[in-house]
Structure 1
Amino acid sequence: MSTNITQNLHGLCPKPFYQSSNFPTVGGHIDGRLCTKLSATVSCCLPCPMTDWTYPDSFNSMSTVANWITVVSMICCAFLLLSWTFLPVEKTHRHYLSICLTLGICLMNMGFIIPLAAQPDECFNEITPHSMETSAVCATSGSFLLAGGWAGVIWIFLRALSLHLQICWQVVVGRTYMWFSQALGWGVPIIGLVLLLVFSGVSFRFGATCHINHQNSLADFWIPLLVFAGLTVVIQFATFGYCIKVYLASLSDNAASTENSNLPSYTNSIRTMSPKQAYRRVRRVVQLQWRGIVIVLIILADVVFFSIVFVFADNTVQQIKDDPTLSLPWVRCLLASGGDKTKCLDLAKDLTISLPTVIAVLILLGMNGLWLMVLLGRWSMFTGWVELFQSCGGRRKKEFVSADARVEAYKEPRSYEMLSRDSGKSEFVLTPLSAAKSPTSPRDGRRTPDYFGGAARYKNDDGSFGPTAAYQPHTRSFSSPKPPQQVSWDNKPQYYSRSPPEGYEGMNPLGMNRI
């Protein structure tokens, strides 16, 4: 029964072609059919999908491998986004230009991951591919792919523009540029996606991922996309040219005033910098931004490569539709072989892009997330996650506590405590400020070091003072050698040994607890 139905669908057309009049004129992407007229009333169409007839069977398996690379790329992007969200900035060095670019790459990756998970049927019927009206998977994957392509191009443009303003024009990009970037970086992709879905649409034209249709595609997608890519190329190479100019100028700068100076002669006018000072400034910026520069170049190359390849493939299919004689040798081969495509693949190469080129495009698009991980990821992110998990598990890092706040046993207590001369054991904690105000006890014969009177001045039992060095007033000295009145002293009595302990001669008490 099914054989008879298939035979009826072939109609007057030889196998493997189908007669178009046997199929409805609505549903799916009608313009996606590849048909040629045998007569005024008979039109024969190639079975869907077209790639099954123009490429070897390895095309599907190799495209699947490219999609799995995209899955790994998506995992890397998710790791970066989670790290930027939950880890402190000193671990990640996050920036909104990096975050938004990663989000754009995630959108593009979803365009390949959704078909990999859904395994959709590419064809509405035997000769008609699905469109976004007849397949939800097609609409979703195509929208993600095109929006991600737009977002990636716009955000690398904004990143290149930011670097150009900093290096060439000494402009400090701030909050104004951030809001401008957010408006342009997400506004243009949203508007562009709406326009291309309305005026062009997407359908299964090239593998399991939906791409933009030929109608109006140059005006609403490819030309604007390549314009922004071209602007990015111009800005990036203008920045490189300026860096080379500054470097060459620095080689001929032998002024003695700039040999040992890293800063301009006065900071109010940065334009007064000498060539060597300008070179040092540019070098510092490039050292901080080289990761972003490499990311811009890689993604820009991927987008331009993908655009050129797909536009060429789209134009080739359209030329075959407009002039069927171009595919006549290949059609004759299929008719003579009874529909065996393997015998005609050599002739199909003249009508399509080579398989290595196609797979290279898919793999390069899928590797963008891996490049982001290599260039924007840092080893400190991994250590940050380890520390975060340890803190969640109760293994918190022990913090330092000053000797003034907490009494603990230290390996070398001499630097923190006053020692008993008789026992050699630590008895009481000495705070340097309280030592100067502690009372003396004539009964036990103890004497108190007078820290503010000199390095070797002590109070005796009868109230007199021993030998002392001449007092040298500080540049911000008070009327007498005693501490400022605003300092709060601890009046709690303390007990001290008869002589100053070993290691305290000449010690500055205000610096005893410095870390």
Structure 2
Amino acid sequence: MAGNVTCPKPFLQDIFYSNAGYVEGRLCQPFNGITCCLPCPMTDWAYPDSFQTMTTAANWVAVASTVCCVFLLLSWAVLPVEKTYRHYLSICLTIGVMFMNLGFVIPLAGNPEQCFDDITPHSMKTGSVCAASGFFLILGGWAGVLWIFLRALSLHLQICWQLVVGRNFMWFAQAVGWGLPIIGVILAFLLSGVSFRFGPTCHINHKNSLADLWIPLLVFAGLTIIIQFATFGYCIKVYLASLADNSASTEGSGMPSYTNSIRTMTPKQAYRRVRRVIALQWRGIVIVLIIVCDVILFSIVFVFQDNTIQSIKNDPDLAIPWIVCLALSGGDKVPCLGEASKLAVSMPTIGAVLFLLGMNGIWLLILLGRWSMVTGWRDLFTSVPNRSQREFVSVDARLDDLKKDTRSYEMLSRDTGKTMDDSVTPSVVTPISPTHARSPTGSPVNHDYMQMPNPDGRRTPDYFGNTARYHTPARSFSSPRPPQQTVTWDARETYARPTSPYTQQDRYVNPLGMNRI
């Protein structure tokens, strides 16, 4: 390990180190004609030792969040839709949050070295773990912001503009929700790059970061908040209008279709429609508010921290009290933490941001998950194939099952009026072939229906026996042929008596007109 005795402890002279790694990440200052740099990583000197424990705990929260996201995605992919109520807006948002969590999980699994040498942090070019964590963090941040924006836009179109978001909106959402994040990651890597600048996760560098990441993210987050509050304002307006509406309209009377204009609705009808939509979408609304607040808080905190470090590089006099304290204490950071807190974001604020970002997957499971998913997985692993499909053996074998399940039927007895399960034990009726049916004496049965004895002594016809012959009426119009005789009517007749002659056998007598003169 190289060092320079002319630099006070703990600072090191940069002339002994190469220009590899992320050189712009060094925190150096001129001192008596030489350049002395703060040892890497910088967070070890600006924060207490508990900072590393806090970041590790936040990463483990991200692991739990990733498990929740994987559970949701597997449930949506494997279980039937009636168990999960899956939707592409929820699926894509969960994938985006999982990508963001991987930005914190990968450093925990890889345990990378943050520094290329004693004064230089690793960059994406010198550390594969750094490149992977930075890639997933930026991709997940972009995807999370855009999919909550699309979710808020979809809800706004349904409630305020009464539009049905269908297939066209789905393809538009897929293009925007994944196209812009990919473009954003490419621009961030080409124009700025990532490095270990703030804990064990690689973040975007200061160069061009406002233009290619932070400002676009904050713009979409701001649009999401505007759209969400516009939707809330419309809901409040509809609710207040419904209070002043005195029209007596029922829940279903005069209710216009979903695609009709909103001007055709009464205020109460509009309020009922909005209430139904919110009752179905309140989970998505809460998710939108949580994630957009997390992203805005993270952006503001990191931009403030980034600008503070950059201002120290541009004006070294700002850090002189802290540097002098470190030099006088011989490299002991504990007495100088008070001076360092004036230059950096407080550790409770950083911890809150990291924990909130890591909990997004847990919020998704709480709000988008359903208990039916758990029962669906239970049924999937405990059910035996073809267990519910019973094999038919005979009518007798299934009689007991039918008697036990009263919901399958409820037949009333003709004598008692009670249900068949309560009064009469049903007899099993089996079909008898009409060609082989014989009487007890052995002679063929000639009547149309066989009489089967019932338990109560009555005899009922066997409708499975011979079939009675059907004679087509002479004036039947069921077959596609014209009528054989046209009946004419005399309009002068009060009772519309047909004018065609009748035979004596078919003589019609009107009971109401028998005594009419």
State TM-score, norm by structure 2. Answer: 0.79
Distance in 1 separating the partners of 2:451 and 2:393: 21
Letter in 2 for 1:429: V
**1:19 aligned to 9, 13, 16, which one?**
13
The alignment status of 1:285 with 2:311, answered yes or no, reads no
Q: Secondary structure at the match of 1:61?
A: helix
Q: Secondary structure at the match of 1:410?
A: helix
Distance in 1 separating the partners of 2:436 and 2:13: 110
8 A Cα contact 1:263 1:273, kept in partner: no
Distance in 1 separating the partners of 2:76 and 2:434: 51
The alignment status of 1:381 with 2:367, answered yes or no, reads no
Distance in 2 separating the partners of 1:436 and 1:245: 74
8 A Cα contact 1:447 1:458, kept in partner: no
Distance in 1 separating the partners of 2:460 and 2:348: 91
State the Cα distance separating 1:38 from its structure 2 match: 1.7
| 1:82-121 mapped onto 2 (5 Å cutoff) | 82-121=74-113
The aligned counterpart of 1:320 is: 312
The aligned counterpart of 1:219 is: 211
State the Cα distance separating 1:351 from its structure 2 match: 0.5
**1:241 aligned to 217, 233, 237, which one?**
233
Percent of aligned pairs with the same amino acid? 59
| 1:57-96 mapped onto 2 (5 Å cutoff) | 57-96=49-88
State the Cα distance separating 1:398 from its structure 2 match: 2.2
**2:23 aligned to 25, 30, 38, which one?**
30
Distance in 2 separating the partners of 1:265 and 1:44: 77
8 A Cα contact 2:326 2:333, kept in partner: yes
The alignment status of 1:340 with 2:332, answered yes or no, reads yes
Q: Secondary structure at the match of 2:120?
A: coil
State the Cα distance separating 1:292 from its structure 2 match: 0.4
State the Cα distance separating 1:30 from its structure 2 match: 0.6
**2:124 aligned to 128, 132, 144, which one?**
132
Q: Secondary structure at the match of 1:138?
A: helix
**1:308 aligned to 285, 300, 319, which one?**
300
Q: Secondary structure at the match of 1:334?
A: helix
Q: Secondary structure at the match of 2:400?
A: coil
| 1:308-457 mapped onto 2 (5 Å cutoff) | 308-391=300-383, 394=384, 396-399=386-389, 408-410=398-400, 428-429=428-429
**2:192 aligned to 182, 196, 200, which one?**
200
The aligned counterpart of 2:181 is: 189
Spell out, residue by residue over 1:278-309, the C-alpha distance to the aligned partner (whole angstroms, 9 max, x if none).
00000000000001000000001100000000
State TM-score, norm by structure 1. Answer: 0.79
Residue-pair matches, total: 443
State the Cα distance separating 1:120 from its structure 2 match: 0.6
Letter in 1 for 2:236: I
CA 219–430 in structure 1, closer or farther in 2 if over 3 Å, else same: same
Structure 2 unaligned regions, length at least 5: 414-423, 453-457, 463-471, 480-517
Letter in 2 for 1:373: L
Q: Secondary structure at the match of 1:171?
A: coil
**1:10 aligned to 4, 13, 37, which one?**
4
8 A Cα contact 1:131 1:202, kept in partner: yes
Distance in 2 separating the partners of 1:210 and 1:341: 24
CA 412–358 in structure 1, closer or farther in 2 if over 3 Å, else same: closer
CA 60–269 in structure 1, closer or farther in 2 if over 3 Å, else same: closer
State the Cα distance separating 1:43 from its structure 2 match: 1.1
State the Cα distance separating 1:109 from its structure 2 match: 0.7
8 A Cα contact 1:440 1:447, kept in partner: no
Structure 1 unaligned regions, length at least 5: 451-455, 461-477, 486-515
CA 263–318 in structure 1, closer or farther in 2 if over 3 Å, else same: farther
Q: Secondary structure at the match of 1:13?
A: coil
8 A Cα contact 1:66 1:362, kept in partner: yes
CA 365–266 in structure 1, closer or farther in 2 if over 3 Å, else same: closer
8 A Cα contact 1:168 1:239, kept in partner: yes
State the Cα distance separating 1:21 from its structure 2 match: 1.8
8 A Cα contact 2:162 2:261, kept in partner: no
State the Cα distance separating 1:261 from its structure 2 match: 3.5
State the Cα distance separating 1:273 from its structure 2 match: 0.5
Letter in 2 for 1:347: E
Letter in 1 for 2:131: A
Letter in 2 for 1:16: P
Letter in 1 for 2:368: L
State the Cα distance separating 1:62 from its structure 2 match: 1.1
Q: Secondary structure at the match of 2:197?
A: strand
Letter in 2 for 1:140: A
Distance in 2 separating the partners of 1:66 and 1:133: 26
Distance in 2 separating the partners of 1:18 and 1:61: 26
CA 277–341 in structure 1, closer or farther in 2 if over 3 Å, else same: same
Spell out, residue by residue over 1:130-161, the C-alpha distance to the aligned partner (whole angstroms, 9 max, x if none).
00010011001001101000000000000000
Distance in 2 separating the partners of 1:72 and 1:372: 12
Distance in 2 separating the partners of 1:89 and 1:365: 29
The aligned counterpart of 1:170 is: 162
Letter in 2 for 1:378: R
Larger radius of gyration: 2
State the Cα distance separating 1:442 from its structure 2 match: 9.6
Q: Secondary structure at the match of 1:344?
A: helix
